[in-house]
Amino acid sequence: MGKINVMKHAFVPEHRPVSKEDEEEILEGMNVPKDKLPKILKSDPVLQQLEGVHGKIEEGRIIKIVRNSSTAGEANAYRLVVDR
Amino acid sequence: MNRKGITKRIGAIKFAYMSPKEIRRLSATKIITPDTYDDDGFPIEMGLMDTHLGVIEPGLRCKTCGGRVDQCSGHFGNIELSMPVIHVGYIKEIKKLLRSTCSECGHILMSDEERDHFIQEMVDLDKLGGDSLDMRKLAKEISKSARKNKVCPHCKTEQRKIMLDKPTTFREDNTKLTPKEVRARLERIPDRDLIPLGLNPKVVRPEWMVLSVLLVPPVTVRPSITLESGDRSEDDLTHKLVDILRINQRLRENRDVGSPQLIVEDLWDLLQYHVNTYFDNQTSGIPPARHRSGRTLKTLIQRLKGKEGRFRQNLSGKRVNFSSRSVISPDPWLSINQVGVPIRAARELTVPLRVTPENIDYVKEMVEKGPEPMEQGKYVAGANYIIRPDGRRIRVTEMNAETVAEKIEVGFIVERELKDGDIVLFNRQPSLHRMSMMAHEVKIVPGKTFRLNLAVCPPYNADFDGDEMNLHVLQSEEACAEAKVIMRVQENILSPRFGGPIIGATQDHISGLFFLTYRNPMFTRREVVSIFSNMKSENFPPSENIDGEKMWYGKEIFSHFLPENLNLEFRASICENCDECLKKDCEHDAFVLIEDGNLKTGTIDENGIGAFKGEVVDKIARDMGTDKARKFIDQITTISLGVITLRGFTTAISDEDVPPEAKQQIREVLEKAADKVKAYAEAYRDGELEQMPGRDLKETLEVMALKETGKSRDNIGAIASRHLGLGNNSVVMAKTGARASMLNLTQMAGALGQQAMRGERPSRGYEERTLTHFEKGALGAEARGFVKSSYKDGLNPIEFFFHSMAGREGLVDTAVRTSRSGYMQRRLIHAMEDLMVYNDGSVRNTGDTMIQFEFGEDGMDPMRTKSGKAVDIDDIITELKAAKRGGGA
C-alpha cells in the first residue's frame, strides 16, 4: 500500500502554514501571545505532508486551519507547531 | 489579558515526605500507652487522649498551648515504632526504587555517564517548561531503562528479581525482604542517583518511606463522643491507633526478651497490617479492619476519598444558611416571577438590613414589633436579630423587642424577616441546566408548601407529586440586583439549550386556549365576566352586537392580550399536514395568522403558547422584551383557566369508545397482519423468502414482520381516528399537545400492537420459543409479542407477559440512562469549568490559552437564535408583509 495523503481525506480540513510576515498581524488581531495558541505536533501527518510542499516548517510556526462549520459555514483556527 | 483583583499568585508548591526527625520535632508528646482515659474519666498522660494533643472537653486546657476547646486547634503526637514498617502510600515508589538500584551498593543500575545524561535531560525538560507530570513520566522511563541492566555496572553484583506481594511485602527470588532490609537498601542510594529517579535529594530521602516513627493526629481530628448513657465512644482512628500501640508494645517486649524469630516476625507483620489499615482500610489483598459490630473502620484515606469524602462533601460543596426546603404545590394566580413562601419559612429566613440615618426610624419601628408581628390577621415582617458593630448578635424576642429597638443606632445591622417582593433563588435538583436555579419575587402565603406558577414547571422539570424545592435568600443588595438582571424567571423564558421558549403553558392551559380560539366561538357577557373574573384588572375587549345582545368572539378575547404590533404566521399543533396547505382558508382552523396583534385565523395550542414550542411566546420575548412576555404568559394562562373552568373539562375511558363496525375493522386489520407474518414465517421455513440486501434470511423475516405489524398499528390508528374527533376531550388533549398522543389513544381504543425489546421482537426465554404456550421454532406474530388486545379490552396472560417485558425494558433504560448521563455531565462540567467567553468573542481558559477562536465558530448566543439558526427568514417575510400593509414593528 502506498503512502496515503491524509490531506486529501474528506475529514481533514484545509491546513496552511502562515507566512512569518503575517504572523504578527494575526496574533495582534486576536490579542493572543503565540504560546497561548492551540498546538499541533511537528510529527502530525498533516504537517509532514505540508513540509513536502512548503519545505521545512520549524517549531514556532503557525498553521492556519479552515474548517467547514455547521454553524458558521467556514471557520478559521490557528495552531502553533511544537515538537514532542 | 490580565485579570484585576489578583494581588498574589502561588509561585510553586513542593511536596516531600516527612522525615522521622521532622515528625519528632512536630510532636507535642510521645504516646506509649494504648489506654485513653483513667477511671475518673480524665485523659491519661502519654495516652492517646493526652491533653498535650489538644482538648475536646470544655473546661480543660491544652497542656501544650494553654488554649481552651475553641482556642486550641490541637497538636500532633508520635508513636515510636519498635520495628520499622512500610508506608502503604509509597509502595509503588519503593518498588520502583528497589528495582532500579543495586541491591548491594545502592547505585542506580546504569553507568555514571548514562546517569548524568539523564539528569541533563531532566534539566532541559524543566527549562522547556515541563510540569511535574512530564517530569514524573520521564523519571518512569529512566527507571525502566535502569531496570534492564541485570548486573550492577558499579559493583558487578547480579541483580535478582524483586516482586511485590500486595499490599506491602517484598520478595527477592522468594526470600522475604523485611522492612528493615528495605530501608537499609533505600539508605544506600546516593543522593545524586535520586535525581534521575524523580526525587529531589535536597528535600527528600527515600528511607523516609519506611516508617520508624508514626505521627499521631490531634484529638480534635478524632474526637470521642459521649453517649446519653455516659459511655464514651471513640473515633475509628483512635481505635486503630490503640491497635497499633498494643501490637507495638508486644513486639517490643518479645524482641527485647529474645523470643523466637518466628513469633517476632508474626507480630511485625501484624503491626504492618495495623499501620496499613490505619492509612487505608480498602487496600486490595488484605481484609479490612472491622469494628466490633462488624462495621468496617473509616480510616484516613476513607475520610478523604469519594463522594462522601472530605473534598466532595465538605470542601467543594457546603451546607448553607438562609435557605429552606419544602414540598411544592401549584398556584396559577401567582406571576411566573413569583414564588409563594409559607409564613413559617418567612419567619425564619432573614435579610440583613444596615441601619442608616435614612432608615433608622423605619427599622426601629419594625424591631419594636418583635419577631412575629401580625396586623389584622395578616403577615408582617419582623426582625429576628440585631447585630452591633462589635459583632455581638442579640436575638429579638417578644419580651425584649422594645428595649432592643431603643438601643438601635446607625451602623447596626438588623436581620429582617422575608417580605413580599424580596428576591430569592429557587432551585430544584437535579440542577441540570442554568434554568434549574432562577430568581423569584417572594409572595408570603399561608400553608406549608412553596407555591409556583405552572408555567415555570418545565424549566425546573417539576410536578406536584411530592417534589421538594430549595429556596435561598440573597444577603446583599448587589446580589439581589445581579440576580434580578440575569436570573429572574422572565429573563430565562428563552432557553440557550435550543433557542426557543422553555417557559410556557402546559396541559389545561393549552386545552383552555384551544376552546377559546378553535373555530372562533362566541361568548355572552356572563361568560366573559366569568372568564375575566380572575384577572387583577383588565378592560374587556370590544364586543359585537348580535341579535341585540352583546357577544364576544374567542379570537378577539385572545387578541386582546397580544401586543399591538405583533405579526406572526405558523401552523398549529392540530395541523393535519395536508398535501396542499390552504393557509388562512385551512378547513381545520390550524393555520395561525396574527396581523398587527389580531388573531385572524387559526387555533392557539401547544405550538402557540406551549413550553418548548410556543411561537407566540417566543416572538414576544424575542422582539418586545421579557417584561411583555412575562405579562402575556401571566395573563393568557389566567384567561385560559377561566375558559376551561367555564366550559368544564373531563375525560374517561369512554372517550376511547369506538363503534362496533370500527372494532370489527380493527380486528380484521390485526388478523390480516398476523396472517401475513405467518405467511412470511412459512416462506422463511421453506426457504422461499427473498433475502434483503445486507441482511441474512432470519433478519429479513424479522424486518418484514416488524414492518407488517407496524403498518397494522398505523392502520388501526387511522380507523380509530375516524371515530374520534375534536368533540372528544381525550382527542383535544392529544391533538393540541396538552397531554398524551394519538398513539396512546390508539392503544386504548384499538390494540397495543407489536411489543419490542431493543427494537426487536421478543425471541428468548425457553428453547427456541418465547413461552411454553407455543411450539418450538414458532415465528408467528402471536408467538413473538404481537398484542391484539387494547388497554380497554384487557390483555390475555400471554400478551400481558410480553407487554411487561417491554415495560420493564423501558424502566431499566431510564434508570441506566440517568446515572450514566449524570456522570457524563459531571465530567463535562469539570472539563469546562474554567472556560470563559471574552469580549472579543474568543473562548479561553484561566491560563489564557485559546480554546475557541470564535465561540461556537459563529459567535452566536444560542439563547438569541431561533432554534439554533441565526436568522429567521420566515419571520422577516412576515414582518415585510406587515410593513407593506402599513403596520408591524
Task: Return the domain boundaries, chain B.
Answer: 22-76+217-224, 87-209, 235-318, 323-499, 508-629, 653-799
- pLDDT of residue A28 exceeding 70, the answer is yes
Dmax over Cα atoms in chain B, in whole Å?
A: 121
For B179, residues 6+ apart whose C-beta sits below 8 A from its C-beta are B83, B84, B85, B86, B210, B268, B272
Kindly give the residue spans of alpha helices, DSSP state H, lying in B756-843: 797-832
Q: Is the pLDDT of residue B888 over 60?
A: no
Task: Report the alpha-carbon distance of residue B11 to residue B607 in Å, rounded.
Answer: 57
Q: What are phi and psi of B429, to 5 degrees?
A: -85, 150
Residues of B in contact with A37 (CB under 8 A): 850
Give per-residue pLDDT as tens, B92-127.
999 999 999 988 888 888 888 888 988 888 888 877
The partner residues of B844 in beta bridges, in order of sequence, read B836, B850
pLDDT of residue B362: 92
CATH topology of domain A6-82: Eukaryotic RPB6 RNA polymerase subunit (3.90.940)
Per-residue pLDDT tens for B658-689?
999 999 999 999 999 999 999 999 999 888 88
B5 touches chain A (CB under 8 A): no
Are B806 and B753 spatial neighbours (Cβ–Cβ below 8 Å)?
A: no
- Separation CA B453–CA B105 (nearest Å): 79
Same fold, B508-629 and B653-799: no
What CATH number labels B323-499? 2.40.40.20
**What's the half-sphere exposure (Cβ side, CA atoms, 13 Å) at B119?**
15
The set of cell numbers assigned to B485 is 438582571
Q: How far apart are CA B451 and CA B342, in angstroms?
A: 8
Of B69, B67, B27, B33, nearest in space to B49 by CA: B33
pTM: 0.83
Distance CA B604, CA B832 (A): 41
pLDDT of B334 > 90? The answer is: yes
Interface residue B125 vs chain A (CB under 8 A): no
| Res B348: pLDDT | 94
Which residues does residue B354 pair with via DSSP β-bridges, in sequence order?
Answer: B413
Position B816 pLDDT exceeds 70: yes
pLDDT-derived band at B1, boundaries 50, 70, 90 = very low
Tell me the average pLDDT of chain B: 90
Can you tell me the mean pLDDT for B854-874? Answer: 89
The DSSP annotation for B527-557 comes to HHHHHHTTSSS-PPPP-EEETTEEEEEHHHH
Structure confidence at residue B666 (pLDDT)? 93
> Which residues of chain A are within 8 Å of residue B860 when distances are taken between CB atoms?
71
User: What number of H helices and E strands is found in chain B?
Assistant: 26, 32
Would you state the pLDDT for residue A2? 60
ipTM, interface predicted TM-score of the complex: 0.92
Q: Which of residues 29-68 of A touch B (CB under 8 A)?
A: 30-33, 36-38, 67
Confidence of residue A66 (pLDDT cuts 50, 70, 90): very high
Chain A residues within an 8 Å CB radius of B844: 36
The helix, strand and coil proportions of chain A, stated in percent and rounded to the nearest 5, come to 30, 30, 40
Task: Select from B467, B452, B449, B455 the least CA-distant residue to B492.
Answer: B455
More confident of the two residues B480 and B145: B480
Give the pLDDT score at B783: 92
B244 and B271 Cβ atoms separated by less than 8 Å: yes
Q: Is the dihedral of CA B726, B731, B736, B738 positive or negative?
A: positive
Higher pLDDT, A1 or B355: B355
Position B732 pLDDT exceeds 90? yes
Write out pLDDT tens, residues B513-554. 999 999 999 999 999 999 999 888 778 888 888 888 889 999
Interchain CB contact of B844 with A (< 8 Å) = yes
Write the residue in B844, B849, B857 that is nearest to A75 by C-beta: B857
Find the DSSP H helices in B128-283: 132-147, 179-188, 191-194, 236-256, 261-279
Q: Which fold has domain B508-629?
A: Enzyme I; Chain A, domain 2 (1.10.274)
B869/chain A closest Cα distance in angstroms: 8
Q: Which helix (H) or strand (E) holds B73?
A: none
Note whether B858 contacts A77, CB cutoff 8 Å.
Answer: no
Nearest CA distance, A35 vs chain B (angstrom): 8
Q: Which residue of A has its CA nearest to B859?
A: A72
Encode B696-710: b = buried (16+ Cβ within 10 Å), e = exposed.
Answer: eeeebbbebbbebbe
Q: Which helix (H) or strand (E) holds B390?
A: none
Instruction: Give pLDDT tens digits for B53-64.
Output: 888 878 788 888
In chain B, pLDDT over 90 holds for what percent of residues?
60
Task: State phi, psi for B14 to the nearest 5 degrees.
Answer: -115, 135
Q: Is B124 on the interface with A (CB under 8 A)?
A: no
**Torsion, CA B792, CA B797, CA B803, CA B805, rounded to 10:** 160
Residues B54 and B73: beta-carbon distance below 8 Å: yes
Q: Which residues contact B168 (CB under 8 A, 6 or more apart)?
A: B86, B88, B91, B272, B276
Q: Are B710 and B751 in contact, with CB atoms under 8 Å apart?
A: no
Please report, for chain A, the start and end positions of each structural domain, with discontinuous segments joined by +.
Answer: 6-82
> Which residue in A38, A67, A72 is closest to B850 by CB distance?
A38
Residue A71 Cα, gap to closest chain B Cα (Å): 6
pLDDT above 80: residue B249: yes
Interatomic CA distance for residues B592 and B590, integer angstroms: 6
On whether the B653-799 domain is CATH 1.10.132.30, my answer is yes
Contacts of B514 (CB under 8 A, 6+ apart): B574, B603, B604, B605, B732, B736, B738
- Closest by Cβ to B857, choosing from A33, A37, A69: A69
Nearest-Cα residue of chain A relative to residue B842: A30
Do B847 and A72 make contact, defined as CB atoms within 8 angstroms? no
Residue B889 has pLDDT above 50, yes or no: no
Does A75 contact B847 at a Cβ distance shorter than 8 Å? no
Q: Which three cell numbers stand for residue B611?
A: 413550553
B620 pLDDT higher than 90: yes
Among the listed residues B207, B438, B426, B453, the one whose alpha carbon sits nearest the alpha carbon of residue B326: B426
Q: pLDDT exceeding 70 applies to what percent of chain B?
A: 99
- pLDDT tens digits along B739-792: 999 999 999 999 999 999 998 999 989 999 999 999 998 898 999 999 999 999
